[in-house]
Amino acid sequence: MRRPVVRNLAVLAVLAAVVSVGAAAPPAAQTGSAGKNPAKVPVAVGYGGAVASVDTDASAAGIEVLKKGGNAVDAAVATAAALGVTEPYSAGIGGGGYFVYYDAKSRTVQTIDGRETAPLTADSNLFVENGKALAFADAVSSGLSVGTPGTPATWATALDKWGSEKLGTVLKPAERIARDGFTVDDTFRAQTASNETRFRYFPDTAELFLPDGRLPVVGSTFKNPDLARTYEELGKEGVGAVYRGDLGKDVLKTVNNPPVDVGSGWNARPGDLTAKDLAAYRAKIQAPTRTSYRGLGVYSIAPSSSGGTTVGEALNILEKTDLSKASEVQYLHHFIEASRISFADRGRWVGDPAFEDVPTKELLSQRYADSRACLIKDDAVLTSPVTPGDPRDPAACATGGTAAPTTYEGENTTHLTVADKWGNVVSYTLTIEQTGGSGITVPGRGFLLNNELTDFSFTPASPAVHDPNLPGPGKRPRSSISPTIVLDKNNKPVVALGSPGGATIITTVLQTLTEFLDRDLPLVDAIAAPRASQRNAAQTEVEPGLYDSDVRTQLEAIGHSFKLNPEIGAATGVQRLPNGKWLAAAETVRRGGGSAMVVSPAS
């Protein structure tokens, strides 16, 4: 079904208001000042560059850097650092992520794998205790779940390679927000409430995020002076403070002896990170994945993330189906089935390529996609779990092999998208894994540690088939993060986007791309469209807009089965328009709505 006319009219009204009034950043003195935050606007059009994120203060931090002459990479790091203040349960220097960069001068795309790594002492039994896999909840809020943080190294690598400003300069807006405070909104309070029980296990976390022992009040000012000092230290000393200095020592002490409230009774199992782990960490510059779709080049992140290969394979499967002319039912049917098949292959083949023989090129070949696309029928639904194919030896419509279930990934990541006046673009997704990460705050430092190692399979997904996502020494757990940049035939940007959402990231990016490229929805409408997420499971998760629609009934008549998911993802994107204009777009409703800004609004 097309989006309801009333929604499209509402978005157009917002767009008209943005164009006439403008969505530029507030003056620097207001950025991060409690009670003075500009209203969130989901779409902005103008010149000089654009930023889209989930948060107004964070988008404004990026715009501030662009206004002062910084480029897209500088602004992306500034925005990410600000998100570490205002979205601390989603991202921060205790986590990692994946950075995709388009260089306008060379018209090329490059990427950084800033994924966290397991300790060098880890083996496949990292989450096995007394011969059995740990319960997920027991693993999450523990030192065992914490990987070596990759975000600081990602920032330093991006700035050194492509930036024009120093780290200390681009951290200043975030440092100011942390010191002066930001205004608590409904989303921040709700996320704190959902973590309240486990936050109380850790006194430093409770002291920071439960001021005076209570949930933060909507409309109040939330300050994080410890994080302000941490950013100041990073700005002066560089990220060596994490990987070779006192900040890193504090991280190690916290991971290996989690500061738990003994009265809580919580067994916060210790980790085993060492100074050698920190010193050995590198953010990896690597080639992107690339696939051709409708004559466009689609670039994303290669393994250790499965995002680029899985989105790319699904697009290749859909390549020979004219989605622009399909009914809404047939569009969603093919989208769901392509997702189901590509997730079957993801589970079997994708892991950290430093440890696993990942057939990236073959997974992205049109020949392989065609051998999988023939499984899709217009009037029938595949039965999950679909078995994987063999990308190195494609056999048409093959159904052999052993299926592997999709492992759980936390959904509370965050994504930002940036463009500058020179035409450079960044699509960057960063995370501490699930909402609140491990729940463990580094004492005196103001940030939470990740629980990324729980993205590993705790035990083999299938006893009959090698699992590429088991833990190993220094290994990166598989991710679903899918920051994407689409280029035209002249290698100029068309659109860049990404989303949080754990394993639903892949389906969110795939659906948004096809809604925009095939269904011709405006970018903000493609982001706002009700979502479906099929990950090789018996049921497809759908948001209320689809669950409560006639389309659901028609899809069920074909054989689909659905379950309700209140909210899937929270995407942002930028689109290149003619004559040097940029359009920034973010969520209209999800996570309280996102924030799109441009340097100079169009008049």
Q: What tokens appear for 447 in the block?
A: 């940030």
CA distance linking residue 327 with residue 224, whole number of Å: 50
CB 433 within 8 Å of CB 476: no
Which of 31, 523, 441 lies closest to 260 in space, CA to CA? 441
Which of 94, 112, 78, 53 lies closest to 433 in space, CA to CA? 94
**Is 413 among the catalytic positions?**
yes
Query: Would you say the C-alpha torsion 66, 71, 73, 74 has a positive or negative sign?
Result: negative
Kindly name the residue from 157, 291, 309, 413 that is annotated as catalytic.
413
- Map residue 174 onto helix, strand or coil: helix
Q: Tell me the Cα Rg of the chain.
A: 22
> Which residues, listed in sequence order, are joined to residue 576 by a DSSP beta bridge?
582
Report the relative pairing of strands 484-487 and 296-300 from DSSP bridges.
antiparallel
- Map residue 597 onto helix, strand or coil: strand
Which of 69, 51, 44 lies closest to 427 in space, CA to CA? 51
Report the relative pairing of strands 540-542 and 562-564 from DSSP bridges.
parallel
Which of 583, 554, 585 lies closest to 572 in space, CA to CA? 585
CB 351 within 8 Å of CB 455: no
- Name residues whose C-beta falls within 8 Å of residue 13's C-beta, 6 or more positions apart in sequence: none
CA distance linking residue 98 with residue 394, whole number of Å: 30
- Name residues whose C-beta falls within 8 Å of residue 49's C-beta, 6 or more positions apart in sequence: 63, 66, 72, 75, 418, 419, 420, 421, 582, 598, 599
DSSP 8-state class, residue 387 = P
Place of tokens 């419509």: 397
Residue 515 phi, psi dihedral angles, 5° rounding: -60, -40
Q: What is each CA distance from 65 to 22, 60, 493, in whole angstroms?
A: 18, 9, 22
Q: What tokens appear for 474 in the block?
A: 């220094």
CA distance linking residue 183 with residue 559, whole number of Å: 47
Count Cβ atoms below 10 Å from residue 399 Cβ, excluding itself. 11
CA distance linking residue 564 with residue 541, whole number of Å: 6
CA distance linking residue 559 with residue 333, whole number of Å: 10
CA distance linking residue 399 with residue 363, whole number of Å: 16
Which of 136, 235, 187, 170 lies closest to 433 in space, CA to CA? 136
CB 476 within 8 Å of CB 468: no
Q: Strands across the sheet with 532-533, in order? A: 532-533, 540-542, 562-564
What residues are labeled active site? 413
